[in-house]
């Protein structure tokens, strides 16, 4: 009797379900799963934003580890102790960065007087073009427009001063946070370089034994993609900076070295960074040298960017880190809106790691972890010990 009572509601439910169109059932099933994923991603984004002061330094430290760890590995292979190899690479990297910054600042200070002189001449040329060019503005109209601009600045001077005071107070707090973040970055980078293999071994122990090998391979290949990405980005940044810097020096644009350094730093944000840095170089050439020189600089920037996009990136990155340009732009803009410049800097590397790791996880024909090429293994790249994860 009880079994009949249980079968009757079950039969009614099946009849009710059968009355719902198949497409609606599939759509509803996909919808609640999609909403669940969106909720999980929202929580993840919230946590990353909440702990941004921790996530950003660790993320940048991981990027620097991907750049420096191969050097540590080679030194260890030459029988240099792990702690000594880490110290040599870290101190050498810091000295290199400080030396480059000092040279760039010195070049900027030395180039400011020349820039000021050329800016005055450039502004006079622009005024002459506005008066005698196609626009045919009268000197009175030009003076009127300049006067309006000056009045606008004067009317907003109180707001600017108030914001400056607030910025000073905020900067005092921001400097402390920046120093703390730098120390955390340095501390994390030391452990990534010296003990990265054991850190990865500890993390994989939290994965079920049945899936541990596959996750291990995915992690190794994800980090190998990060190493490839960072190496390729550095090479591309150097080529961009040298190419544009030489072009600026030949044309005679002032501050060629600082502008080349700006191009180098901006190249770490793919597509958008090079575009912004190139625009700044063209603008400086326009104001300091004139429209003909600015057009030449624009041609140089376009040529270098074409070399980067069609030759360097496909050749250096290859299939392991191949990302569609639309995905790159969307990730950069999303990271920029979520975390500013650090988000734009870290967005593409995160996408590259996830792309490689997920492809490894879903590939059923993946080889056994023991057969993976050692040059693609995370424990062969991170840390100098080369230990096998548990």
pLDDT for 79: 84
Query: Is the residue at 242 inside a domain?
Result: yes
Query: Is the residue at 193 inside a domain?
Result: yes
pLDDT cut 90: percent of the chain above it: 3
**336-364 exposure pattern, b = at least 16 Cβ within 10 A, e = fewer:** beebeebbbbbbbbbbbbebbbeebbeee
The end-to-end CA distance of the chain, in Å, is: 57
pLDDT for 378: 38
Least confident piece of the model among 38-47, 231-240, 349-358, 376-385: 376-385
pLDDT cut 70: percent of the chain above it: 69
Q: What's the average model confidence in pLDDT over 286-301? A: 85
pLDDT higher at 219 or 159? 219
Q: What's the average model confidence in pLDDT over 256-264? A: 85
pLDDT higher than threshold 50 for residue 384:
no
Q: In total, how many domains does the chain have?
A: 1
**Domain extent at residue 307:** 51-381
Query: Is the residue at 33 inside a domain?
Result: no
Q: What's the average model confidence in pLDDT over 7-19? A: 64
On average, the pLDDT of the chain sits at 75
Q: What does the alpha-carbon distance between residue 241 and residue 104 come to, in Å, rounded to a whole number? A: 13
Query: Is the residue at 7 inside a domain?
Result: no
pLDDT higher than threshold 70 for residue 171:
no
Query: Is the residue at 14 inside a domain?
Result: no
- Alpha-helical runs (H) found in the chain: 2-19, 22-50, 52-77, 82-132, 139-155, 157-204, 209-251, 256-266, 272-288, 291-307, 313-317, 325-362, 378-381
321 φ, ψ (degrees, to nearest 5): -125, 25
pLDDT for 141: 65
Cβ-proximal residues to 3 (8 Å cutoff; 6+ apart), any chain: none
Query: Is the residue at 11 inside a domain?
Result: no
Least confident piece of the model among 134-138, 189-193, 286-290: 134-138
pLDDT for 364: 56
pLDDT for 39: 92
Query: Is the residue at 194 inside a domain?
Result: yes
Q: What is the pLDDT of residues 49-83, one digit of tens each?
A: 788 788 888 888 888 888 888 888 888 888 888 88
Query: Is the residue at 15 inside a domain?
Result: no
Q: What is the pLDDT of residues 92-147, one digit of tens each?
A: 888 888 887 787 777 777 776 766 666 666 666 666 766 666 666 666 666 676 66
pLDDT grade for 299, boundaries at 50, 70 and 90: very high
49 φ, ψ (degrees, to nearest 5): -65, -40
């Amino acid at each position: 009797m009880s079994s009949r009572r249980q079968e009757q509601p079950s039969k009614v439910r099946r009849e009710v379900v059968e009355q719902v169109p198949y497409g609606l059932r599939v759509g509803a099933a996909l919808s609640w799963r999609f909403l669940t994923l969106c909720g999980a991603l929202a929580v993840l984004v919230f946590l990353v934003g909440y702990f941004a002061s921790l996530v950003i330094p660790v993320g940048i430290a991981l990027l620097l580890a991907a750049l420096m760890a191969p050097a540590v590995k080679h030194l260890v292979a030459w029988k240099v102790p792990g702690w000594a190899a880490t110290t040599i690479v870290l101190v050498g990297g810091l000295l290199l960065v400080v030396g480059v910054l000092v040279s760039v600042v010195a070049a900027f200070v030395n180039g400011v007087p020349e820039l000021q002189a050329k800016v005055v001449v450039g502004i006079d040329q622009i005024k002459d073009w506005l008066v005698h060019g196609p626009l045919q503005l009268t000197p009175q109209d030009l003076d009127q427009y300049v006067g309006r601009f000056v009045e606008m600045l004067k009317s907003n001077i109180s707001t600017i001063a108030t914001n400056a005071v607030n910025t000073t107070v905020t900067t005092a707090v921001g400097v402390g946070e920046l120093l703390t973040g730098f120390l955390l970055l340095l501390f994390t980078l030391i452990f990534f370089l010296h003990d990265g293999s054991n850190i990865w071994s500890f993390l994989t122990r939290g994965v079920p034994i049945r899936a541990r090998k596959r996750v291990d391979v995915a992690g190794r290949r994800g980090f190998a993609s990060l190493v490839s990405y960072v190496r390729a980005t550095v090479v591309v940044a150097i080529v961009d900076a040298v190419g544009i810097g030489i072009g600026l020096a030949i044309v005679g644009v002032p501050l060629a070295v600082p502008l080349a350094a700006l191009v180098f730093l901006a190249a770490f944000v793919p597509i958008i960074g090079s575009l912004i840095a190139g625009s700044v170089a063209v603008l400086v050439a326009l104001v300091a040298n004139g429209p003909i020189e600015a057009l030449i600089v624009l041609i140089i920037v376009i040529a270098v960017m074409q070399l980067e996009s069609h030759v360097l990136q496909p050749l250096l990155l290859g299939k392991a880190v191949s990302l569609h340009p639309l995905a790159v732009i969307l990730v950069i803009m999303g990271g920029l809106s979520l975390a500013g410049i650090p988000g734009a800097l870290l967005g593409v590397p995160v996408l590259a790691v996830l792309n490689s790791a997920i492809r490894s996880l879903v590939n059923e024909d993946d080889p056994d972890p023991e057969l993976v090429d050692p040059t693609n293994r995370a424990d062969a790249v991170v840390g100098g010990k080369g230990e096998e994860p548990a």
